[in-house]
Amino acid sequence: MCGIIGFAGREEAAPILLDGLARMEYRGYDSAGIAVRSNQWGLQAKKSRGRLERLYELTHGGKDLDGPLGIGHTRWATHGEPNDCNAHPHISEDGRIALVHNGIIENYMEIKEKLIREGVRFASETDTEVAVQLLAYYYKQCGSMLEAVGKVLHRIEGSYAFGIICADYPNALIAARKDSPLILGFGEKGNFIASDVTAILKYTRDVIYMEDGEIAVITADSIDVFDQEFTPIEKKVNKIEWDVSAAEKGGYAHFMFKEILEQPEAIRKTIAPRIRDGKIIFDNFLITPEELKNLSRIYIIACGSAYHVGAICKYTWEKLLRRPVEVCLASEFRYSDPLVDKNTLAIIISQSGETLDSMAALREAKRLGARTLAIVNVVGSSIAREADQVLYTWAGPEIAVATTKAYSTQLILMDLIGLYLGDLLNTISKEDYQIILRQIETLPEKMRACLSKLDDAQYLASRHFNHNSIFFIGRNLDYAMGLEGSLKLKEISYIHSEAYASGELKHGTISLIEPGTLVIALGTYHALFDKAMSNVVEVKARGAEVLAITTESYRERMEKIADDTISVPDVHPILQPSLGIIPLQLFAYYVALQRGCDIDKPRNLAKSVTVE
């Protein structure tokens, strides 16, 4: 989704802005632009539809725009089609103010009509332009930029992260935030604003997280934060621990491939700090054993792949905790009048910590009295800060839109939490606790073994990349894992694909199976392996070609029926999806590669969905 960067410094801003935008490309965008204040020329802006390369060409790598103060933006169209004109920054009619915006101004029509009646002429179809024209309107009246910004913030409704520069203020950049992330960064050659830490990681690790309702003034030497009445606020400076190289491709063709390979290390980092002397440790866990016993309901709420982690946990946690666990799509939960009370635990899973529906679901759960726990990858993100407690996944920055290592770390962290709670509740035996925990520790090594068989997935992808439709079938944990396998495939290869619970085949889906249809049969869940085999026989009888995923100990049996079989190491059933997903990720990757797709930036998708 949209990305913002701003720089107030002692060197040319434009190349820094372009570099920052390039680092946020992964978020998804359809147009981009920058505006820089030059001593000689005043405000200069360049914008362009399409990829950032065009903006590089248009500005000769930024050389055409001189000046040490500027803002930049990658846009993901909501109001108005993606074109040069609707791209940000938007400039006031008098050319003196430039503004970039993430979020949506809900009452923009009403304000626009009023401004048009006042004689203001609009250049774009966007809601954002209203903000800059309104700002110019107030600025003319009061002569103070800060005061005018304050008035705009009182007048507009909706969500925003703003970056603003004005021709009359050679040194200062203004930022404001409500319901859309924005951070402030202290650099050696100047200071920054950014919607995403990866944009500025190369320049600084010292950041301030802006809160809703805050306004900031950034110069090359200072960052001052105020509330909406302009009372100064003391802010904490946070250190970002992420490694810069983790957000760079480092010789790999795609971030997605690099991130698939990083999974063993990512899960190791997520597991290691939480296991001490053969026990799982969560310091100050938000629920005491006593409260845990009184819990009436556990909700797991998320979107996309994070929801698929929840789909697996429904099965595993109910086994471990002997308590009902409901898994909800965040977009549904928030409008479903959910049965939440103070004895409810609501767990929000989100890589970015900024997904709007997940954020809204968290607030709804809190409003209804639930205890809230966030499982988040991005430190300091909105969901992390608003939940009663946050437990971080330590996947490091994930750049590819299609998640892999964030998904895996979410899954393993949820396994650890499930096991921890099962132990507190005494719903699993000490013996099982120890067996599962020891096996969790072996997972990075076993994952490496799965990754060493890249060739199998590559070969099978080269045979199957031309299908129009691919079905995933499985039961129980295999079904839940299939949901993620199918999503991976469709989002990056654009092949239609669905995951079905095998038992449902006969209730309709089997009518879609015809000679040559590719069915990916998941048979890693031993307890239901025989049933899985029956389903394979069923689809084979209708002419399907079957690619099966199973475990090493069941490989021989599967090979007798399936056309091709990939096996993964055996591990405790609860943990098996952590391994089974690897060949599915690799298969999706290689299929997309064969089809020549833009793997890291699939069409129409965004890494972090910050609008509804």
Phi-psi region at 607: left, alpha or beta (left = phi > 0; alpha = psi -120 to 50): alpha
607 is catalytic: yes
Residue corresponding to tokens 């100064």: 232
Asked whether the beta carbons of 72 and 17 are under 8 A apart, the reply is yes
Segment holding 532, helix H or strand E: helix 529-541
**Least separation, in Å, of the C-beta of 494 and ligand G6P?**
14
Looking at 2, 166, 313, 328, which residue is catalytic? 2
Q: Tokens 């067996």 label which residue?
A: 435
Cis peptide before 89 (omega within 30 of 0): yes
- CB nearer to ligand G6P: give 19 or 179: 179
Q: In the chain, how many H helices and how many E strands? A: 19, 27
Structure tokens at 90: 């938007």
Residue whose CB is less far from ligand G6P, 169 or 407:
407
Two tokens, residue 606: 């965004």
For ligand G6P, give the closer residue by CB, 135 or 406: 406
Q: Could you give the angle at which helices 128-142 and 145-155 cross, rounded to 10 degrees? A: 130
If the CB atoms of residues 550 and 608 are measured against ligand G6P, the closer one turns out to be 608
Whether 328 is a known active-site residue: answer: no
Rounded Cα distance between 314 and 333, Å, is 16
Q: Catalog residues that contact ligand G6P under the rule CB under 6 A.
A: 303-306, 350-352, 355, 358, 401, 403, 605, 607-609
The crossing angle, in degrees rounded to 10, of helices 263-271 and 405-425 is 30
Q: Please identify, using beta-carbon distances, which residue of 59 and 355 lies nearer to ligand G6P.
A: 355
Between residues 201 and 532, which has the closer beta carbon with respect to ligand G6P? 201
Catalytic-labelled residue, pool 446, 488, 601, 607: 607
> Can you give the length of the chain in residues?
612
Q: What single string gives the DSSP state of each residue in 187-239?
A: -SSEEEEESSGGGTTTT-SEEEEPPTTEEEEE-SS-EEEE-TT--EE----EE
Residue type, 155: R
* Minimum distance, C-beta of residue 119 to ligand G6P, in the bound complex (Å): 42
- Residue 605 beta carbon to ligand G6P: minimum distance, rounded to whole angstroms: 5
Instruction: Give CA separation, 214 vs 21, 84, 255, 390, in Å.
Output: 24, 30, 34, 23
Smallest gap from residue 371 Cβ to ligand G6P (A): 20
Shortest gap between Cβ of 349 and ligand G6P (angstroms)? 7
* Nearest distance in Å: CB 358, ligand G6P: 5
Active site residues: 2, 607
